[in-house]
Chains A and B, each alone.
Chain A
Amino acid sequence: MSALLEIAGLGAGYGEAPVLFDVGLEVRAGEIVTLVGSNGAGKTTLLRAISRTVDSTGTLRFDGRPLGGLTPEQVFDLGLVQVPEGRQLFDRMSVEDNLRMGAYRRRDAAGVREAFDRVYRLFPVLRERRAQLAGSMSGGEQQMCAIARALMAAPRLLLVDEMSLGLAPVVVDQLLEVLAEIRRQGITVLLVEQDVFAAFSVADRGYVMETGRIVREGAVADLRSDPEVRKAYLGVH
């Protein structure tokens, strides 16, 4: 099976300060892959390189197509859609308007209606709150709204950045359930997380990033039993 997202020898940074070095990562269609690492490891920079808001060197291909010269809008149109860290909702817009913004570049009215149905089935609470201002909801509901907004764009690969940040464990579990359901619906997921426990509970494979480099990769079961990973990220000795 060929990779949907293919990254090799990738370097990126801001101005004179390099952040990523020789990063290699692969996401195959239908997988949930997680990228874990502590604060400042370079995870968000990698996502920015993928979404072309930061320049990079090396190989970066989606569905066999190089992303190098594309604008963020073009990458988005290919079906690479991000759920950003900190949710980044349009706080003073209704939930429904937020979701409509997710479908901003879609011109198929029927498809958009269907997408509304789908996300409301996935998150019934958003249907109840569709007229409410997004910024007035709880953190968990806002995260649901952010995921739903991204789903409105009909993504092929969903890039989820720090989904668990600041949320109660029970809410995180609920959202992980939803990611599994999203994958069952045929959407591939790359989950970037600091909460390694949570990420490993839902992912098939994982990558561990430290100071801009990938230091471990493999099936989640193998990573879980890796002594270094256990010590550094799972807090068990």
Chain B
Amino acid sequence: MALLAQIVVNGVLLGGLYGLMGLGMGLVWGVLNIVNLAHGALIMLGGYAVYYLYTGAGVDPFAALPLAMLAMFALGYALQRWLLGLVIRSAQLNTLLVTFGLDVLLSYLAQLAFSADLRTINPPYAGSNFALGPVTVPLAPLAAFGVALLLAAGLQAFLVRSRTGRAIRATAQNLTAARLHGVNPKRVYALTFGLGAALAGAAGGLYGVVSQLTPYVGVTLTARSFVVAILGGLDNPLGVIAGGVVLGVAEAATALYLDPTYVNVISFGMLVVVLVLRPSRIFERA
């Protein structure tokens, strides 16, 4: 019983982070109708940004998150404006291909720049934890979970309350009408992709604290983001976090009851299940 509780705690905390990964992917998908296969690579870049800010400049990883987000926002904005914007009106296969190519490019550039070594962001409090009844709550993952929730709530408030957020929702719902009311879709798309990349950057920094970074970590993280975005729906940021929690708990249970090597089987298995059971979720927005 205590073991099960521990699994749930670990799974929920990791799942919040998966939720944050799905958030950026779902935002871009819902508004631009791009399934961004490079999303995991953007997460990976954000992770390295925080890693080097910590090891190079001594910035605390959590304090480094806003900086990494800002840099990733700029990268995402530029990618959409000057690369993906060129193919956004063509068939969805083309944006898939371009983001796939981007994923390969970013992964190998990262290998050149950062080497293929495993990296972990290791602040002094990385191993700290406290007891809560029968379970142990690790501090860093708890903080990561809190940041994920905060960012999801912030995104929700931004989309609902701000003028730019309204324009983003309007463009997603009806491009023609948005243009007729003076919305510039190129700007909205670039902003949205920038936001998605910034969220990926934050997720990457947190992932580097609770897990390990390699230049190739992006592929499995893209798959997880995809599953989570579909589980949570593309409309509701807090629902996406809940989707992440489902995946996190499933993975934690697998690692314990089967074997840690089966974790990817679960996430990719869920990908297949989701594709079979909820194809409408994917194509109705297309």
Say which one of A89-97, A115-123, A167-175 lies at the interface with B: A89-97
CA distance A53 to B179 in the complex (A): 9
Central interface residue in A51, A88, A101, A104, by most chain B CB within 10 Å: A101
Checking B174, B179, B182, B184 against A90 with a beta-carbon cut-off of 8 angstroms, the contacting residue is B174
Could you tell me which residues of chain A, from 76 to 98, have a CB within 8 Å of some CB in chain B?
A: 76-77, 81-82, 84, 88-93, 97
5 residue pairs A–B, Cβ–Cβ below 8 Å: A53-B179, A82-B180, A97-B169, A105-B181, A153-B182
How many Å from the CB of B183 to the closest CB on chain A? 6
- Which 10 pairs from chain A and chain B are nearest by CB? A88-B177, A105-B182, A76-B182, A90-B173, A73-B182, A90-B170, A101-B170, A82-B180, A104-B181, A101-B181
A73 CB, nearest partner CB in chain B, Å: 5
| B182 / chain A contacts, CB cutoff of 8 Å | 72-73, 76-77, 104-105, 153
**Residue positions of A touching B, CB distance < 8 A:** 51, 53, 72-73, 76-77, 81-82, 84, 88-93, 97, 100-102, 104-105, 149, 153
What are the residues of chain B within 8 A of A104 when measuring CB–CB? 163, 166-167, 170, 181-183
Taking the closest CB of chain B, its distance from the CB of A49, in whole angstroms, is: 14
A101 with B184: CB separation less than 8 A? no
Inter-chain contacts of A84 with B (CB < 8 A): 176-177, 180
Residue of B nearest to A102 (CB): B181
Q: Using Cβ atoms and an 8 Å threshold, which residues of chain B touch A93?
A: 166, 169-170, 173
In contact, A88 and B170 (Cβ under 8 angstroms): no
A72 to B176, CA, bound (A): 11
The reply to whether the CB of B178 lies closer than 8 angstroms to some CB of chain A is: yes
CA A149 to CA B167, docked complex, whole Å: 14
Contacts of A89 in B (CB 8 A): 174, 177
Interchain CA distance A153-B180 in the complex, whole Å: 11
Mask of B231-248 contacts with A, CB within 8 angstroms, 1/0: 000010000000000000
Neighbour of A88 across the interface among B176, B183, B184, B235, CB < 8 A? B176
- Contact indicator A90/B167 (Cβ below 8 Å): no
| Docked pose: A82 CA to B183 CA in angstroms | 14
- In the complex, what residues of B have CB within 8 A of residue A92's CB? 169, 173, 235
CA distance A72 to B175 in the complex (A): 13
Residues of A within 8 A of B177 (CB): 84, 88-90, 101
Partner of A101, one of B167, B176, B235: B167
Contact between chains at A101 and B178 (CB < 8 Å): yes
CB contact between B169 and one of A77, A90, A149, A153 (< 8 Å): that residue: A90
Which residues of the partner chain A approach B170 to less than 8 Å between Cβ atoms? Answer: 90, 93, 101, 104
Q: Which residue of B lies closest to A85 (CB)?
A: B176
Q: Bound complex: CA of A97 vs CA of B177, how far in Å?
A: 13
A51 to chain B, nearest CB (A): 7
Query: Is there contact, CB below 8 Å, between B179 and A72?
Result: yes
Alpha-carbon distance between A93 and B169 when the two chains are bound, in angstroms: 8
User: Per a CB cutoff under 8 Å, which of A51, A77, A97 touches B166?
Assistant: A97
Binary flags per residue of B129-151, CB closer than 8 Å to A gives 1, else 0: 00000000000000000000000
Asked if B180 contacts A88 (CB within 8 A), the reply is: yes
Neighbour of A149 across the interface among B179, B181, B183, B184, CB < 8 A: B181
Q: For B181, what are the chain A residues with a Cβ–Cβ distance below 8 Å?
A: 76, 81, 101-102, 104-105, 149, 153
Cα–Cα, bound, A77→B183 (Å): 11
> Is the CB–CB distance between A91 and B167 below 8 Å?
no
Taking a contact as CB atoms under 8 Å apart, the answer to whether B183 and A91 are in contact is: no
When distances are taken between beta carbons in the complex, the residues of chain A under 8 Å from B235 are: 92
Give the distance in Å from the alpha carbon of A81 to the alpha carbon of B177 in the complex.
Answer: 11
Report yes or no: B180 in contact with A76, Cβ–Cβ below 8 A.
yes
Report how far A153 CA is from B176 CA in the complex, Å: 16
Interface residue ranges of B13-70 to A (CB < 8 Å): none
In the complex, what's the smallest C-beta–C-beta distance from B161 to chain A, in angstroms? Answer: 10
Interface centre among B167, B176, B182, B235 (most CB of A within 10 A): B182
Within 8 Å CB of B176, what residues of A?
Answer: 84, 88
Known A92-B173, A97-B166: A73·B184 in contact at CB below 8 Å: yes
CA distance A77 to B182 in the complex (A): 8
